[in-house]
Structure 1
Amino acid sequence: MVRVAIGVEYAGNAFEGWQTQPHGRTVQDALEGALAIIAQEPIKLVCAGRTDTGVHATTQVAHFDTTVERPLEAWVRGVNSHAPASVGVLWAVLVDDEFHARFSAESRRYRYVLLNRRVRPGMLEGRVGWTHGPLDDGAMNEAAQCLIGEHDFTSFRAAQCQAKSPVRAMHSVSVKRWGDVVVFDFHANAFLHHMIRNLVGSLVHVGKGRRPVAWMAELLAARKRSLAAPTFAPDGLYLCGVEYPQRWPLPGGGRIIAPPQLLIP
């Protein structure tokens, strides 16, 4: 039995989330089917973090166990030849059986790409969030800094979240503008269900002047979801990297944080 780790990218608007479903229209289902063709046996994937319907990934990390030996390139180009066009394996490496895509991860990075202009997206529909009113990116970035550190993020947690604890350690947050595109970057040990989309929704309220900068700290301290803004659309959310201890030979230690191409210089 060997364990293989893979890096994966996908367009989330082509699937109904990561996690397998009876209807089979998920990223996990698509990849497991393609992997099974190469392995000639059933394959079960475990990922670093399950993404919701419409959420994309430039670097998702997953692992699987198999009884067969194949060249690593077979787990990349071979699998891609059988997978839908909206998902692709970026790399594959052999790891020991102590590696676990989810539990061995030290941190995750997500990026939310928000188009801020008068008219809705056409070419980028489904790939970016959108809001048409003016946004103060400086105010949003200032408001976001209170999130850094270890906090109880109950105010930004979905009601259906199954995490045992709402406490997460946020390593860094930034909000920057490139022309009509505002980019929100989050780096934390882990995230709660809908946490980033809820944070972005509340930061946009600050950016539109509906709430003061200090409101984000007040929300965080309140630990009450009903006080925060509505959950933002999934369209602009990207899982952009998962970080692991250097003992495992993952490319960049899992630190491949490619931005959504064509959107950011």
Structure 2
Amino acid sequence: MNKQRYFIELSYNGTNFHGWQTQPNGITVQECLDKALTTYFRQDIVTLGCGRTDAGVHATQFFAHFDVWILPAGEVVNALTGINSLLPYDIAVKRIFKVKDDAHARFDATSRMYNYHIHFAKDPFKLDRSWLYKGNLDIVKMNEAAQVLLNFTDFSCFSKSKTQTFTNNCKITEAKFEEIDGALVFTIKADRFLRNMVRAIVGTMVLVGKGDLEIANVAQIIEGKNRSKAGQSVPACGLYLVGVEYPYVKE
């Protein structure tokens, strides 16, 4: 009896979770999803995600793959209502679809896109969903500094130390700040990201926006490959994984 591989697309509010990946010291998105799938399909299922979001980080689009012992295709792809009923309200499954047996949610992804949200006035409806920054920022300078990122590939200076990655090289294809309804949204797209990379980049861009760091210093920091020279990591609450692309997945 063979197994069939499926991709599952979901979104989640990460406030109450210790990130995506299952761990012994806190509830995670993966743990909840695996439990729901195992219960629904009545067989042990372990998902593998497209990446690892940290505690408090959100995702409007996240993919994972899982294998099940062969079931009628319709029984799997039409299982959304049942699976969602088994999940907490802050996790929502959007679709399930069959893929080739060697399809891989992490390694097959060709790009990922994140947004980081910053607001400047106290707003209870943005609690745990955006970073409240008390001060003024120069968005023009921050955008100029963000464009510097496109000239480099080694981003060791923005990586969390002691990670298991073999390379700190990433190809960033988009990085920009936009002012929307009095708040800032930072969008960044790359083929891959390092642990804590986006939050460290935003922290560095904020230093530029405050006037504590010159645009020319950004290139020097990247070339120096020293995490301690870059800005502090901004809070997780403002970070969202918003897009993951695959050559064989359509919207």
On whether the aligned pair clears a TM of 0.5, the verdict is: yes
Q: CA RMSD in A?
A: 1.3
- Whole-angstrom distance in 2 between the partners of 1:103 and 1:149: 24
Alignment of 1:1-265 (within 5 A): 1-23=3-25, 25-69=27-71, 70-74=75-79, 76-117=80-121, 119=122, 121-245=123-247, 248=248, 250-252=249-251
Matching residue of 1:257: none
> Contact 2:17 / 2:26 at 8 angstroms: preserved in 1?
no
SS in 2 for 1:148: helix
Distance 1:42 1:132, change over 3 A: same
> Contact 2:116 / 2:186 at 8 angstroms: preserved in 1?
yes
Distance 1:3 1:240, change over 3 A: same
1:212 Cα offset (Å): 1.5
Percent sequence identity over matched residues? Answer: 37
* Superimposed CA distance per residue, residues 171-194 of structure 1 (whole angstroms, 9 cap, x where no aligned partner): 111111113210110100100000
TM-score by length of 2: 0.94
1:168 Cα offset (Å): 0.8
1:116 Cα offset (Å): 2.4
1:13 Cα offset (Å): 0.6
TM-score by length of 1: 0.89
> Contact 1:197 / 1:231 at 8 angstroms: preserved in 2?
yes
1:71 Cα offset (Å): 3.8
Q: Structure 1 counterpart of 2:94, which letter? A: L
Question: Relative to total residues, which structure has the larger helix share, 1 or 2?
Answer: 2
Distance 1:149 1:4, change over 3 A: farther
SS in 2 for 1:102: coil
* Superimposed CA distance per residue, residues 199-230 of structure 1 (whole angstroms, 9 cap, x where no aligned partner): 00000111111112222112111111111111
> Contact 1:39 / 1:68 at 8 angstroms: preserved in 2?
no
> Contact 1:72 / 1:93 at 8 angstroms: preserved in 2?
yes
- Whole-angstrom distance in 2 between the partners of 1:90 and 1:136: 38
- Whole-angstrom distance in 1 between the partners of 2:36 and 2:204: 39
- Whole-angstrom distance in 1 between the partners of 2:99 and 2:8: 10
Distance 1:72 1:192, change over 3 A: same
Structure 2 unmatched ranges of 5 or more: none
- Whole-angstrom distance in 2 between the partners of 1:83 and 1:251: 25
SS in 2 for 1:219: helix
1:156 Cα offset (Å): 0.6
* Superimposed CA distance per residue, residues 132-160 of structure 1 (whole angstroms, 9 cap, x where no aligned partner): 10111111011010111451101111113
Runs of 4+ displaced beyond 3 Å? none
